Amino acid sequence: MIYRFFIQTENGEEVSITVTPCVSALSWTVRFRSHTDEDNFNDFHGQWSAVVWAQYNSRFQRTFHKANLEKGVVLVEVRPMDRDSYVHLFTSKKNHLLTKKDLPWANLTVLDRGLRHSATIHWNRRWEDNLSYCLVMNPRRFYNTLCEAQAERHGMSQVAYNIVKGNGTKTKVPVRRFLNGTASDIVLGCVDRNNTYTLANLADGRTYFLNLFAVDTETKVPFLYGKATIMYQHDPPWTSLRPEDGLHVLGIGTRNPGPGMHLYTRALAEESFPTTATPKAIITIRHRKRRKRLKRLRLRDGKEETATVKTTKYLRYKVRKSELYLGIWSCEGLTTVELMQEKSLVLPKVTVRDHQYFHLKELTESWLELKLGSPEGIPESVHVAVGRNQKRFPYPVLPKDTRVRTSRMECRSALLLWVPSPDPYSQTYCLVVHEVTAKDNATLEGSLGQCLINERYSASKLACRLRSLQTATFLQFSVLQQRDVRVGERAVTSDYIPSKSAGEEDLIVPDPVLSAPPLHHPHRLHLNLPSEDGEILPSTRCI
């Protein structure tokens, strides 16, 4: 598909056009037709009888500039080259920073400030230009534009890239990290007029790719200002460093007191710079040797804690009664759980997928140590909750049969049924509907985000508005259970869900009181709505 944009010009004017690809490479052409032509401007077939001024096929930001124009119309045609993308288009009729032939370029340096697993990035700034800066860091690759990094950070660029580790080996990143949400390992920070930025939580021996973007405060358009690769090493042996091919070494030395070694690098032209590379700068920071202490996160009774497990994570809880309720929920995959008390094994190693509850008895009044592990070797987020009795336990108790069933599958509706919870403190339910296969990108509004983790709401009803709903649409229903003592003994066991083939409809669960976090693990239902004549399609399946 080709998108066309028009700019009207007068005699003697100038025009500049800046095209910024945000996901994939773009092919764009600039044409001009003078106003003296008698052709209809609405006729765009063929070459449109226009003069081709420029044509670009690139994944980089480009600016076209031309002065002393005639009266006429400038036509910009943009189309994606390999896959769907989106573009930032900026036009102006006066000179600005992006119209210069040679844009400024920064030399990235590293300042040793003695912070463990941290590095302060410094760059030279042009005092004559009114610029602000944004620094992007990730362990996979470089980015050509700022919006490309923002798109991947928010899950719009669904590509699994390689990670280049410190020893030069490559390992594939699981695709689910990019398809099921945002890329959380992308660090993006912006500063107004400062020329330093401190990066924290750097892993020892890992290579990081840095992109520095400058934003012109006049046009609000960002452009690439510098790039480099760094590797953080904590107390490594001294080694000799050699500049690689295509690397300009501007200086070697220290900026602040204390031993350290830094390579000041400047990349080549963006066209020849690879998207992945070996380290160009190694940060070597020597700290005073300290005794390694095993950090243990303390659990609180009736509360939920979130722990990031890279390889092994230890948590502790002070047992005051012989009975304990323990809940583990793994956010991204598998998690191993092991319990120790006074050097004796209370619970052998168990592998938890999704979530699992434990009811422990005959405990002694001492510290209970919980050991969490990641068998896949990927940093994962794990939620842990404890309670000395069922009332204080923050998770609701599930029934034995957690399936959601369908009944009365009619032409425009479906009746959902599930078994109520035996927990006297859990009688509130949430319903979330999501279209998973339609390419029309039907939008959910209203309460779609009202059943997220660690969120509290004051709404009296849960309503989701589904637009552009068609027949034979593959939907995903998630029923989430939550605790609310104000509901009493009343249980919501079914809801009649209306839906039409087109237009706007509300999908409502009656009277849920949203005052407590919901159960994190949803019960899913996949179904195909019937066709116009009311017949159930063969692809209907219910779990």
Q: Are 29 and 50 in contact (CB under 8 A)?
A: no
Q: With 0-12 CB in 10 A as exposed, 13-18 as middle and 19+ as buried, what is 209?
A: buried
Query: What's the token pair of residue 360?
Result: 């422990």
Q: Is the pLDDT of residue 243 over 60?
A: no
Do 158 and 242 lie in one domain? The reply is: yes
Instruction: Return phi, psi of residue 135, to 5°.
Output: -110, 130
For 323-454, list the strands marked E by DSSP: 324-341, 344-360, 367-373, 380-387, 405-407, 413-417, 428-435, 444-446
pLDDT in tens, 251-265: 333 333 333 333 333
Number of domains in the chain: 4
Q: Is the pLDDT of residue 19 over 60?
A: yes
pLDDT in tens, 408-450: 555 555 666 667 767 666 556 666 555 544 343 333 333 322 3
Do 127 and 95 lie in one domain? The reply is: no
Within a domain: 393: no
> Binning pLDDT at 50, 70 and 90, where does residue 295 land?
low
Within a domain: 79: yes
Instruction: Look up tokens 């070494």; give the residue.
Output: 249
Q: Where a domain ends, among 99, 120, 137?
A: 99
Q: Where a domain ends, among 261, 285, 309?
A: 285
What is residue 88's predicted lDDT score, i.e. its pLDDT?
A: 85
Do 122 and 69 lie in one domain? The reply is: no
Q: Which residues of 380-418 are buried (b: 16+ CB within 10 A; e: fewer)?
A: bebbbbbbbeeeebbbbbbeeeeebebeebebbebebeb
Among 110-114, 354-358, 451-455, the range with the most confident prediction by mean pLDDT is: 354-358
What is residue 58's predicted lDDT score, i.e. its pLDDT?
A: 81
Q: Is the pLDDT of residue 330 over 50?
A: yes
Q: Is the pLDDT of residue 474 over 70?
A: no
Q: Is the pLDDT of residue 391 over 50?
A: yes
Instruction: Look up tokens 């949430």; give the residue.
Output: 430
Do 147 and 246 lie in one domain? The reply is: yes
What is residue 53's predicted lDDT score, i.e. its pLDDT?
A: 87
Within a domain: 537: no
104-118, 190-204, 359-373, 432-446: which has the minimum mean pLDDT?
432-446
Q: Tell me the HSE value of 68 on the side-chain side, using a 13 A CA sphere.
A: 0
Within a domain: 535: no
> Binning pLDDT at 50, 70 and 90, where does residue 36 land?
low
Compute the distance between CA of residue 303 and CA of residue 46 in angstroms, rounded to an integer.
Answer: 67
Average pLDDT over residues 13-23: 87
| Helix, strand, coil shares, percent, the chain, to 5 | 5, 45, 50
What is residue 487's predicted lDDT score, i.e. its pLDDT?
A: 30
Do 159 and 206 lie in one domain? The reply is: yes
Q: Looking at residue 62, which CATH number applies to its domain?
A: 2.60.120.680
Q: Where a domain ends, among 226, 250, 285?
A: 285
Within a domain: 334: yes
Compute the distance between CA of residue 419 and CA of residue 403 in angstroms, rounded to an integer.
Answer: 8
What is residue 443's predicted lDDT score, i.e. its pLDDT?
A: 37
291 vs 466, more confident: 291
Q: Is the pLDDT of residue 45 over 80?
A: no
What is residue 164's predicted lDDT score, i.e. its pLDDT?
A: 31
Do 236 and 304 lie in one domain? The reply is: no
Within a domain: 394: no
Average pLDDT over residues 210-219: 85
Q: Is the pLDDT of residue 355 over 70?
A: yes
What is residue 456's predicted lDDT score, i.e. its pLDDT?
A: 34
212 vs 101, more confident: 212
What is residue 529's predicted lDDT score, i.e. its pLDDT?
A: 37
Element at 179 (helix H, strand E): helix 176-179
pLDDT in tens, 79-124: 887 777 778 888 888 877 777 766 777 778 877 656 777 888 888 8
pLDDT in tens, 52-62: 888 888 888 88
> Binning pLDDT at 50, 70 and 90, where does residue 390 land?
confident
What is residue 42's predicted lDDT score, i.e. its pLDDT?
A: 55
Range of the domain at 86: 3-99
Do 426 and 488 lie in one domain? The reply is: yes
Do 172 and 266 lie in one domain? The reply is: yes
116-130, 171-185, 201-215: which has the minimum mean pLDDT?
171-185
What is residue 235's predicted lDDT score, i.e. its pLDDT?
A: 55
> Binning pLDDT at 50, 70 and 90, where does residue 338 land?
very high
Do 50 and 148 lie in one domain? The reply is: no
Instruction: Look up tokens 């237009």; give the residue.
Output: 503
Q: Is the pLDDT of residue 367 over 70?
A: yes
Do 428 and 410 lie in one domain? The reply is: yes
Within a domain: 341: yes
Compute the distance between CA of residue 132 and CA of residue 123 in angstroms, rounded to an integer.
Answer: 12
Within a domain: 540: no
Do 332 and 438 lie in one domain? The reply is: no
Residue 353, strand partner residues: 334
Compute the distance between CA of residue 211 and CA of residue 331 in angstroms, rounded to an integer.
Answer: 30
Compute the distance between CA of residue 186 and CA of residue 147 in angstroms, rounded to an integer.
Answer: 13
Query: What's the token pair of residue 313?
Result: 């994570």
What is residue 380's predicted lDDT score, i.e. its pLDDT?
A: 79
Do 191 and 263 lie in one domain? The reply is: yes
